[in-house]
Structure 1
Amino acid sequence: MTVRRVVPNVRSEAVRESRDFYGLLGFEEVMNHGWIMTLASPSAPAAQISFMAADRTAPVTPDLSVEVDDVDAAYAVMRDGGAEIVFPPRDEEWGVRRFFVRDPGGRVVNVLGHR
């Protein structure tokens, strides 16, 4: 299993204002599903930050996202390691497979891969 990127997920009701603010630092909108928006640096596309008020299809809003090359392998490692699975693996309509796991500090991690 390989980690491809890590993206902080910021809970915010001010998504549009956040886009404008971080745009001043050079970030550009690369994804917007209406309930989650991701900004990235054009010169370093893996440098990203997402904003959302709440996750539309899950029971909790994740604190960060970790993209991996094999979601099912990551799930097996976490489950077998005794980690708390907050949201089981699921294929989402926007083209990702994901699950949520709680880290030792209580943060919810969205582990995902693009299909």
Structure 2
Amino acid sequence: MSVRRVVPNLHVRPEEQERSRAFYGLLGFEEVMNQGWILTLASPSTPSAQVSFLTHDATGPVVADMSIEVDDVDAAYAAVRASGAEIVHTLRDEEWGVRRFFARDPSGRVVNVLSHRGTG
């Protein structure tokens, strides 16, 4: 299994999304996804360098602290479950094209682990 990217997820109020887009735009980030509840900005020169701003999670119980895209989310889910880590949001296919689950890391942070459907 390999990691494709790691994205910090920042929990924000709705009115903070636009201000965040403007501020991080000053640093060279551009919008790559906006579903209303989640806004993701990326570096045009290094597209895997991203940051997301979430007002809430559309299907998850909490806003995860970070997202980790892996090439095989099913293998990751099996490994995390076998470790005894807390599963916060069970493995599922989401309507926006990802397969994902949430788990709590040893320090208590919630991690969204995902693969884009059709790519792993």
Q: Aligned letter for 1:7?
A: V
Corresponding residue to 1:100 among 96, 102, 117? 102
Across the aligned residues of Structure 1 and Structure 2, the Cα RMSD in angstroms comes to 0.5
2: CA distance, partners of 1:86 / 1:33: 22
Structure 1 position 85, deviation (Å): 0.5
Runs of 4+ with deviation above 2 angstroms: none
Matched ranges for 1:1-115 at <5 A: 1-13=1-13, 14-115=16-117
How many residues align? The count is 115
TM-score calculated relative to the size of structure 1: 0.98
Which runs of 5 or more structure 1 residues have no equivalent in the other structure? Answer: none
2: CA distance, partners of 1:39 / 1:53: 15
CA displacement, residues 22-62 of structure 1 (integer Å, 9 cap, x when unaligned): 00000000000110010000011010000011111111110
The percentage of aligned residue pairs carrying the same residue is 70
CA displacement, residues 43-100 of structure 1 (integer Å, 9 cap, x when unaligned): 1101000001111111111000000011110000000011110000010000000000
Q: Aligned letter for 1:52?
A: L
Which runs of 5 or more structure 2 residues have no equivalent in the other structure? Answer: none
Q: Secondary structure at the match of 1:21?
A: helix
